[in-house]
Amino acid sequence: MACANPPHQERRTHMQRSRLGAIALSSAALLGAALASPALAATDSEIPTFSEFHASTFKDADQQYIVNGDEPVSDTGQLREFYDKLVGPETQTDGLIVNTVGGADDKWSTSQVGNLTYCVSSKFGTRKADIVNAMNGGAGLWEAASSKINFVYVPSQDANCTTRNNSVLFSVEPVQTSQYIARAFFPSSPKRSRNVLVDDSIWTSGSWTPANILGHELGHTLGFRHEHTRPESGTCFEDNNWRPLTPYDSSSIMHYPQCNGTSSNLSMTATDRQGAATLYGS
C-alpha cells in the first residue's frame, strides 16, 4: 500500500481486501452468520486470483453465482466484472443506498414499480400459504414507505412459477441450500435471473421474522444495496457501485446485524422509508 495514500483511502483499501478475503473463503456468506468475521485478508498476497475466487464462489440451484451473501451474478463474465471492481482502484464516495449501473440508479420505471407482479411456486407445498403471507408482509413494508411501490401477487401463475413465466415480473421459488436463507435480484437483472429463492431455514431464523427477511430481499428487487458496504460500517465492504439516499443507518433493514449493525431483527426504520420515498417518491 503506497504511503502517499490519504488515510481515508488506506481505510477503504484495507476494507476492500478484507471483504475479498471473506468472499474467497465463504463466497456466498450466510445472511445469518458467514459475514460475522469478514476481516480475513490484509495483504496483497492474500487476495485470491480470479481463478481461486471463481472456484470458491457458490453456484446456485439455477446456476447463478452468489456474492455478497444474497446477490446473484448470472455468468462467469459478470463474475469477472464483479471481481475486477472489487480489487481494482476505488474512488471515495460521500440510510439507504441504491445500486448503480454505469453511474445510473438501478431502479424501476414509474409505471413498472407500481406493478411488480410475482407468483409463489406451488412447490412450497404445505408452507406455501406461509410464504404468501411472508411475501405480503415484506412487500407491505416498502409499499407503506412509498405510494408508488406496489407488489402484485398473481396466484393464477403459481402452478408455473419460474423465471420462464412471462406473465409475471418475477417468481418466488423454494431452494435447498446451506449458503443463504434467501436471495433476490436487482432491477437491472435479466429476466432469467429475476427470482426470489427461499430456503427452509427462513422458519428457524430466530428474531429475523420471515416477513422481515423477505422485506430485505424485496429491498434488493427495488434496487437497494446492503447498507454495510458504506464506510461508516467499518466492515463487510462490498464495492462502490451505489449512491447514498439518506445518512448512514446502522439499523437499516438492508444492514446485516453481524456487520456492525444495530438491529437484531431486520426491521424497517424511518430512514429506510425516507430512502424509498427519495428514490421512488412518496
pLDDT at 60: 73
Give dist(CA 143, CA 23) in Å, integer. 33
Which of 38, 71, 72, 66 has its CA nearest to residue 53?
66
pLDDT in tens, 95-105: 799 999 999 99
Cα 231 to Cα 234, 236, 256: the distances in Å are: 6, 9, 14
Give every strand in the sheet of 151-153, ordered side by side. 151-153, 116-120, 170-174, 195-198, 182-183
Per-residue confidence band for 267, with pLDDT thresholds at 50, 70 and 90: very high
- Residue 220, pLDDT > 90, answer yes
Average pLDDT over residues 221-238: 95
User: What is the spatial distance between Cα 29 and Cα 19, in angstroms, rounded to a whole number?
Assistant: 11
Distance CA 263, CA 255 (A): 8
Whether the per-residue pLDDT at 256 is higher than 90: the answer is yes
Q: What is the pLDDT of residue 248?
A: 97
Closest CA to 223 of 261, 258, 172, 188: 188
Burial of 114 per CB tally in 10 Å (0-12, 13-18, 19+): middle
Give the Cα separation of 215 and 70 in Å (integer): 13
Report whether pLDDT(45) > 60: no
pTM across the whole model: 0.72
pLDDT at res. 237 = 92
* CA dist., res. 165 & res. 194, Å (int): 10
